[in-house]
Structure 1
């Protein structure tokens, strides 16, 4: 064209679709489809190293948010060009659109936790209320509009109180901004405000219908969130709790304990650092050290990094014991001392049940009295009425006990988590068959309820130091497994399995057989059924009369 070569956006998309994942379709600038029930959008872009002049005003607007170093990094990244033209232009098939998706990722990372939660709340609101029951052609608002609203509200400092207690207030401010945009028919792009993102999409009758739909929600107030399956249950609790209220200012959406439970639920998820050698672990510790020293961390990010540090220290301690094991007493003593020091540090960074790994280490080192001492200490801590484990928490007692504490102290003093045993690391020799079974089924770790492992360690240790107390510990474990209905003892496959192992090592093969059979009947969360079947076969082979 005009003696110059151009790349047609429409032809490019067609070619991209032909070489993309099979059965994909065109959706805007993307090829879209589903892989194993997971929906995806894939856009192959051209990269520009230069920040577009049309977006230069954005740089001048960034006085308070984002911070100058974020702005500099974003501008240095440049932008992308995606294959889609202006729908009402004359050159739609040839034009390309400037994309700021990389910049938007940086901006999302610059949000604090409450700002990010507000963005998530808006997306849920869009999916479950605004667009609920509408086909694709009738869906006028998208998650991109929600993200843009959050960006504008943060930058213009429309609401200064971005905190968990004001979550609904922040949501309400963003919702009113979207309502205003729909009324005016103008949604300014965050980077290029002259670009109206409603153009050709929300105008005329479609604009009027959408406005009246949103305004009817506005008149109902925040109670319209009751219609959201994901949010409604929390709002109902607020409506029926005289101590809490739904407001759009400084009042609380959910109690402190409920918020902390959700926060710790995310943090307790096992990490994805799959390094099972000393060099890999030390490299991750070095990276974590650098990140923790960053002055830019939010308190939530710092808390997550502390838990990750505890996890890596635990891995390192057990891997060090495995890789450097030696029969020479002096070297073994030195290795045990280093590992023990790492586990002490991990307990300081983590929650109550992170002390359990120190007890496991002492058991591996045949230090049974030290193991029992730590087990008793953990039992005392877990017996406190304010301790939070999954959804089990007395909200009032939790708030009374740790209300003024930092989240880091709350985690150490009042939060319990599951014991995670990575299957490439040997922790307790009696559980190695279960780890091998899970590993064969591509399960990276065993999840064990803390009370179950505490009682298991008691049974195993008392066999060597106080045989009179073995049966009492075994009775406690049996009562725990038999009586609990999944509240304190989830992962019931491994729970019945551990009961069977303890019964077997103490000589009660008939009871052990029953427990193993019960383990096979549970939901196979840990995928240990192969080990269970082998244990049953061995019992039946050694005791032919056992049924």
Structure 2
């Protein structure tokens, strides 16, 4: 069923992206992973705006609209996106441009949705705008919630090269998967890091497609480990600390799988690996550091967990 749900959501994306819409749809989160039922959790979608590409200064780019990544002074894993050339069909950017330090940047208030708009979901049911959370524009009703995130495709070679060249002691990810992931584009999404110097113009760099490929490469035991961690986070940890999300658990699984020999993962050892993962989480809470798997310089816990939340979550864990 996990593989069926993955294939179904992939096919839905392909149908959407075959039509002349202004965005490419990338289903993310539990739906794309195949680990969540339809009404079990939010439906997460990344809308990548067509015709806009962010690149490092000096790199050639044939996109109709070109933006430059400016990571100077930004938090690790974050950037500002600077205006270089805006094509005729992307005038929507003009109302989101702001001046900062004598340069023109795209504000992280960017959205293509009209204020107070409503939509119909795939079932023909009306969904309305909800309170904003992080980079997402949530829409929903009493039955279902969608998290829509707008982003621009980006090429961030320095970060992907660091991930590619990172020493690995064991066999995951395999060489072919590492090479394939290194060719995938990343995205920037509109949210600043907490405490950022640039709260209005900082964007987060993410490698959504890479993370999906890594999730799909996990074996049965590793996938079950992730599902168990998600259940524990949702039922036990999130009521104590709002940051205990499935994304945190995903990064923990990635680190556990990369730093463990493959033979340690089996149906008989599943609970042992669950204990390892919770111990790893406990150590991360103690040090207040959980490295992002794709961008190790980015600390997923920095400025996000209070001392009280850390203590109660650590105790529960």
Tell me if TM exceeds 0.5. Answer: yes
Q: Which residue of 2 aligns with 1:184?
A: 287
Distance in 1 (alpha carbons) for counterparts of 2:209 and 2:137 = 19
* 1:361 matched residue in structure 2: none
Which of 72, 87, 91 is the equivalent residue of 2:194?
87
Unaligned runs of 5+ in 1: 215-547
Cα pair 2:172 2:257 within 8 Å, conserved? yes
Per-residue CA deviations over 1:93-132 (Å, capped at 9, x if unaligned) read: 1111001211110000111111011000100111122234
Question: Pick from 300, 304, 307: which aligns with 1:204?
Answer: 307
Residue 239 of structure 1 aligns with which residue? none
DSSP-derived class of the 1:27 partner: coil
Is the 8 Å Cα contact of residues 196 and 202 (structure 2) preserved in structure 1?
no
Shift of 1:72: 1.9
Residues 180-205 of structure 1: per-residue CA shift (max 9 Å, x gap): 10011111111222211101112433
Instruction: Report the Cα distance in structure 1 between the residues aligned to 2:118 and 2:156, rounded to whole angstroms.
Output: 29
**Does the 8 Å contact 2:237/2:313 carry over to 1?**
no
For 2:108, the equivalent position in structure 1 comes to 9
Call closer, same or farther: CA 1:160–1:184 in 2, change over 3 Å. Answer: farther
- Alignment gaps of 5+ in structure 2: 1-98, 120-126
Cα pair 1:185 1:203 within 8 Å, conserved: no
- In 1, Cα distance between the equivalents of 2:118 and 2:164? 36
Does structure 1 residue 128 correspond to structure 2 residue 128? Answer: no
1:37 and 2:143 are equivalent in the alignment:
yes
| Bigger relative contact order (CA 8 A; separation at least 6) | 2
Which residue in 1 is equivalent to 2:70? none
Secondary structure of 2:243 counterpart = coil
Deviation digits for residues 472-503 of structure 1, max 9, x if unmatched?
xxxxxxxxxxxxxxxxxxxxxxxxxxxxxxxx
TM-score of the superposition, structure 1-length normalised? Answer: 0.36
Q: Is the counterpart of residue 59 in structure 1 residue 158 in structure 2?
A: no
| Mapped pair 1:175 → 2:278 | yes
**Matched residue count:** 207
Cα distance in 1 for partners of 2:312, 2:102 equals 48
Find the counterpart in structure 2 of residue 222 from structure 1.
none
Task: Choose which of 113, 118, 143 in structure 1 pairs with 2:225.
Answer: 118
Q: Whose helix fraction is larger, Structure 1's or Structure 2's?
A: 1
Q: Over residues 291-325 of structure 1, what are the superposed CA-to-partner deviations in whole Å (9 max), with x where a residue is unaligned?
A: xxxxxxxxxxxxxxxxxxxxxxxxxxxxxxxxxxx
SS of residue matched to 2:146: strand
Cα shift readout 1:213-232 (whole Å, capped 9, x = no counterpart): 32xxxxxxxxxxxxxxxxxx
Tell me if structure 2 keeps the 8 A contact 1:80–1:98: yes
1:388-537 matched pairs, under 5 angstroms? none
Q: Which is strand-richer, 1 or 2?
A: 2
Does the residue aligned with 2:308 lie in a helix, a strand or coil? Answer: helix
1:113-262 pair list within 5 angstroms? 113-132=220-239, 138-157=241-260, 160-214=263-317
Based on CA coordinates, which of the two structures has the bigger radius of gyration? 1
Cα pair 2:151 2:190 within 8 Å, conserved: yes
Matched, 1:108 2:219: no
Q: 2:133 is matched with which residue?
A: 27
2:160, 2:182 within 8 Å by CA — same for their partners in 1? no
1:47 matched to 2:153? The reply is yes
Check 1:148–1:107 CA distance in 2 against 1; reply closer, same or farther (3 A cut).
Answer: same
CA RMSD, 1 decimal: 2.2
CA contact (8 A) 1:52 1:79 kept: no
**Do the aligned partners of residues 178 and 29 (structure 1) sit closer, same or farther apart at CA in structure 2, a change above 3 Å counting?**
same
Q: CA deviation at 1:78?
A: 1.8
After superposition, what is the alpha-carbon deviation per residue over 1:339-398, rounded to whole angstroms, capped at 9, x for unaligned?
A: xxxxxxxxxxxxxxxxxxxxxxxxxxxxxxxxxxxxxxxxxxxxxxxxxxxxxxxxxxxx
Name the SS for the 1:53 alignment partner: helix
Deviation at 1:71, TM superposition (A): 1.5
SS of 2:181's partner is helix
